[in-house]
A and B are shown apart, each in its own frame.
Chain A
């Protein structure tokens, strides 16, 4: 199972919006609504930000939103804040009853 494809890095200024893409295949992203997104600050454990494509866990800011079209899922962060600077990973359930992660995207807040 190949890793999902994410851009290596994205950047934005405070207050702006950014979108991170996550491209897979019909056997993972395109075939299931079990796409999730994780935020990881340096030296910390990952934190779930979005599950089932577009749902936010309790306590996650509504500045974070998710969507999916075909084999590509997206994470949008609006009103960028300094504390959003982190690595972001997407993940999808697959037709092999396994999970696959994206390679990760480093978000820089300028």
Chain B
């Protein structure tokens, strides 16, 4: 059974940093493309970024609002995905979901972790 478990969310001040983790199990993590998707309170889904598998180059792409501030990385030895978030803004407040990417879609989702950016 595929499981994605996010952690690391919490309250942070504007301008601060936070690192989210996503522990994966039930599939071959090293072969998977992975993504982060967020959802602000009461709002819709917003794609944050994606990292390819190392065999496909391991490259990353990001949504415009987070480019240059957020960094996605992976540790295939630990089956873990990361999202390093710097220079956080109040508008980054959201539940952050870790997802697998296959056939252009987000096929498995974690339960999400809440990030609140507030002074």
Chain A residues packing against B (C-beta within 8 Å): 1, 3, 32-36, 38, 40, 45-48, 51-52, 55, 57, 89, 91, 93, 96-104
Cα(A1)–Cα(B112), bound, Å? 24
Chain B's interface size range is 20 to 34
Cα(A101)–Cα(B104), bound, Å? 12
Q: Are B106 and A38 in contact (CB under 8 A)?
A: yes
Most chain A CB inside 10 Å of its own CB: which residue of B102, B104, B105, B111: B105
Q: Are A98 and B47 in contact (CB under 8 A)?
A: yes
Q: Are B44 and A32 in contact (CB under 8 A)?
A: no
Closest chain B residue, CB of each to CB of A105: B44
Query: Which among B64, B104, B108 is the interface contact of A34 at CB below 8 angstroms?
Result: B104
Query: Which among B63, B97, B103 is the interface contact of A46 at CB below 8 angstroms?
Result: B97
Q: Are A48 and B106 in contact (CB under 8 A)?
A: yes
Closest chain B residue, CB of each to CB of A50: B105
Chain B residue numbers with a CB within 8 Å of A34 are 103-105
Q: Are A93 and B44 in contact (CB under 8 A)?
A: no
Closest chain B residue, CB of each to CB of A35: B104
Chain B residue numbers with a CB within 8 Å of A38 are 45, 106
Cα(A104)–Cα(B43), bound, Å? 9
Chain A residue numbers with a CB within 8 Å of B106 are 36, 38, 46, 48, 91
B107 within 8 A of A: yes
Contacts known (A45-B97, A89-B45, A99-B47); A32 close to B107, Cβ less than 8 A: no
Closest chain A residue, CB of each to CB of B108: A48
Chain B residue numbers with a CB within 8 Å of A103 are 44
Give residues 83-111 of B contacting A (CB, 8 Å): 97, 102-111
